[in-house]
Structures are given as structure tokens and as C-alpha cells.
Copies of this chain bind each other. A is one copy, B any other.
Amino acid sequence: MLEDASTTRVLNPDREELQELVRSQLQALLAQSNYEAAKAILIPVQPADIADVIESLPTRLQVVGFRLLPKDKAIDVYEHLDPSVQEALLEDFKHPDVLEIFDHISPDDRVRLLDELPAKIVRRLLQHLSAQEREATALLLGYKSQTAGRIMTPEYVSLKEEMTVAQALDRIRQIATTIETIYTLYVTDASRHLSGTLSLRNLLVAQPTDIIRDIMTREVIWVHTDTDQEEVARTIQHYDFLSVPVVDSEQRLVGIVTVDDVIDILEDEATEDIYALGGVQSGGDGYFRTNLFTVARKRVVWLSVLLLTNTLTTGVIRAQEDVLEQVVTLAAFIPLLIDTGGNVGAQSSTVVIRGLSTEDIRGAQVWRIIGREAMAGILLGAALGVVVTLWAYLLQGDWLVSIAVGGSLFAIAVLAAVAGSSLPFLFNLMKFDPALMSAPFITTAVDVLGVAIYLSFARWLLQL
């Protein structure tokens, strides 16, 4: 490996600046067909950054840029590339170099790419794999999407109980460069049943003559091939593991999931929740990858549902139109009331939904939480109610309207806090996604009841 000591100090500017610098240099050199210099500037750059640089090159230069890389680095870079660029490079797949890279990337990264490709291309690519890799890939593809089986890699180190520490270290040295991680080792019996685990750290500090059976940990935490990927991620997070073993229905070890994949999974799950809270159903792809009409179609379905439920508010107001005819000014405060109700409801539900998702809150604490939120609603409603009564009077000088607004705001705040905190629990119990379902129902409940309370209260005040 060529070392260039003089670049060490320069190598850590802001990551975005670094990538932009490399990209512009690379593009300039490629334009001059100066391939030797182009190869040289990529040498000290990390694979993850090279991947970003290639992605930001104009499409026609991406293949050329990728072909500059030595084979080992090319495999690492390929694993980091965005699926759309991985696909584009494969268009070139008759080229033996590219095929070889495809054969060498980790099975879990390969499967992630194959998931994005049309079936015809997938079949052709599978044929080009070596027999062993094809088997590993087919195994993973056989599992349901977003489960442990789909995201695992079969490239782990397995040891036998009767090995000595010295033998184990020899085995590790032999296979170290082809394995995803050697830092957690798995001990299996003759039928591939998982009998223990061992960290490389413990292996290193043991005596060379110690037997694996005596130093391994028997209490193994594992996940099943059909465990949901978010549950896998939270298991690794909870125990601070570097990897977790995956077993099939016969308790045989079939693969592992590593911590780096977990970070990405948890981020995707958080994004999914954030989207759901905002009323967006994502296809799971990056922002620009989803066709605009597909996006619009998904959003319009959801918006139509919300539109229909809003019909109830329309109905309530029309039923009370006579009150509005008497005091038209009442209408001026409708947006204020339903927006405030919406905000209070959003605050309460956001805290509960996120708490359920990160397991900071458990289902058993539901009544304590609803009680707490109700109290918060009462405090908030009282404070805001007073403020808005005075503010409304200052704005338009009619006490009846001001009191109607203030009193309704109090009721709406309490209502919103209770609805906002209880509906997520209800949806959770019914196995619906609280992040997606809660907002429309809370909004509808608050709007309909809020407006009904407001106009009824005003009607009552008018009769005094």
C-alpha cells in the first residue's frame, strides 16, 4: 500500500469539502484522460468517501471513475454506493471485472442490491456468481424482506467446543480477510447448533492451551431468521453488541447481523416514523428515486381520507349556522381554536409515540401517562384560556365572543391532550402503526368536538 505521509495532515477537512475537492480534481483529470494521476489522487481516500464522489460525478463518468480502482478497494467502494449507481455499473456486467466485484461483495450487500433490480437482471446475475456465492445469496433471498434472515451475512467465524485457544487463533488468522467480523466468535456443535459465544478479546487473554468449551459464554442472545429488523437493531443496541447471531427454526446458526447495519436500520426506522407522523408514506427509497406521480398518488390517498373526515367539522358548523349568523365574529376564531388544539394534540402524541418506539415508555404505564398528559392539558388550557380571552377582547371588544373562545380553548386543550396521549396506545394495542394512524384521528376528534363545544358554548352564552 503506498503511503503518502504528507497528506496525513490535510486529510481531515470537513467531509463535504473533502469530497467536493476530490470530485473536481477527478473530473478535471478524467476530462484530460489523465488516468494515472486520477488513480493517484484516489489512493489516500476512504472507500466511503470515494463512493460519494463517484455518485456526484456526471453519469457518463461514473463507470470510468469506478474502473480506476484497484480490485480490493473497488469491492469496498461498491458496497458503499447508492443502489442506483450500483445498478448503473452492472449494466456493464458483461465486463469480467465488474462481475468479479459482484461475486466478492458481502452477501448481505449483494442481496440489498438485488432487491432493487428487475427479476430478469437478477436471474442473469445469479448465474454469473460462483456456486458458493449463489447458494449464500439464494439463502438470504429466501427470507422475507426486513427480517433478520434478509439482512444477515453468512460470513462469520464458527469454532468447535473442543478446540484449543491456539487452534482457534490459527483458524481465525486463515479466514480473517474473508469474514465480515472476527471480533465475536460463535461456537457450534456438529449439527451447527449454537452452543456459545466468545469475544476475540477474551480469546486473546486466554492461555493457548485453554479449551474453548471452558472459556466461552453459554448464555447466548440470538435472534430468529424471521425476527423483524427493528427488533434485531434494538437487541444490538440494548446489549451493546458488535453483532448478534441468527438461528433458523431448528436453532442452527445461519448468519450474523453486525452493528454497522444496525445504525442504518435504526435510522431508516426513525425516518419511517417521522414520515408517518407527517402523513407521508415512503417507499423506502431515497428522495429523488421515487417517481413523482407515485409520490403524489400515495399522498393524495391519505389526504382524501383526511378530507372526508373533515366533512364532520363542516357538518357541525352548518348545524350551528344560526349562531354564526348572530355573531359572525365567532367564525374569526375558528382557525385559532383548531390550530391550538392540533398543536396540543401533536405535542402529547409525539411524546407518547416516540416513547413507545424507543421503548422508553411501556404499555403498562398507559394510565399514568394519560393522567399526566390530562394534567398538562388542564394546566396549558387554563393558562392559554385566560390569555386568549383577554387577547380576544383586546382584538374585538365583545365579551361574549372572548369568553366563548377562552372557555372553548380550555376544553379543547384538555380534550386534545387526552386524545393525543390515549389514541397511540389504542393503535399500538390494535397492532396498527401509532405514528401513521394517530395524527388524523386526533385532528378529527379535536376539530369536530372542538368546534361543537365552541358553537354550543356560544349559543348558551347568547341565551343568558
Contacts and interface: CB of A to CB of B under 8 A. Distances in A.
Interface of A: 1, 3-5, 7-9, 11-12, 15-16, 44-46, 48, 169, 172-173, 176-177, 182-183, 195, 200-201, 204-205, 217-222, 235-240, 242, 251, 259-260, 262-264, 266-267, 270-271, 273-275, 277-280, 282, 286-287, 292-293, 295-296, 299-300, 302-304, 306-308, 310-311, 313-315, 317-318, 321, 324-325, 328-329, 331-336, 338-340, 342-344, 346-347, 349-351, 353-355, 358, 360-362, 369, 372, 375-376, 379-380, 383-384, 387-388, 391-392, 395-396, 443, 447, 451
A259 B183 CA distance: 14
A376 B343 CA distance: 25
Interface centre among A9, A46, A287 (most CB of B within 10 A): A287
B383 A300 contact: yes
Contact of A354 (B271, B350, B376): B271
A425 B16 CA distance: 17
Nearest to A251: B9
Given A292-B376, A342-B342, A396 B239 contact: no
B267 A307 contact: no
Contacts of A287: 351, 355, 360-361, 369
Contacts of A279: 343, 346-347, 350
A220 B8 contact: yes
Q: How would you classify the secondary structure of chain A's contact residues: helix, strand, loop or mixed?
A: helix
A238 to B, nearest CB: 5
